[in-house]
Amino acid sequence: MIGKNIIESEPIPGAKVKEVLEEFSEDNELNYEQNVTLNHLARFKRFSLEDSEEILEKLQSEFNLRPKVAVHIVDLVPQDLADLRLIFAKEPGQVDKEEMEKILELLEQYDIIE
């Protein structure tokens, strides 16, 4: 695209995207892509925004996960080791089974919004 440069890129959880789109839609009409995104985010189970931010902080500080991986974990809400292994499949470093079990235990401490 001519004349457009990405200044900064940061992964954010779906709960934050949903909140931003809902606030924007109060005063403005959403375009097609924004509507599709908001419908997608409303369809799947998620953590609340506050819980998402808290989980992200813990995943990054306690488990030294990259922000992108931490956001994937929060957004996809893995239920078992198989789900979590898929998230870590393309990661350069290996995460051992004990650490993945601790991550699942951390996720179980929070309520999921349906």
What are the chain's domains? 14-44 (no CATH), 49-113 (1.10.150.80)
State what percent of residues in the chain have pLDDT above 90: 81
Instruction: Give the 3-state secondary structure of residue 113.
Output: strand
pTM of the model: 0.87
Please give the DSSP secondary-structure letter assigned to residue 3. Answer: T
32-68 residue pLDDT tens: 999 999 999 999 888 999 999 999 999 999 999 999 9
pLDDT of residue 28: 93
Contacts of 112 (CB under 8 A, 6+ apart): 45, 46, 47, 77
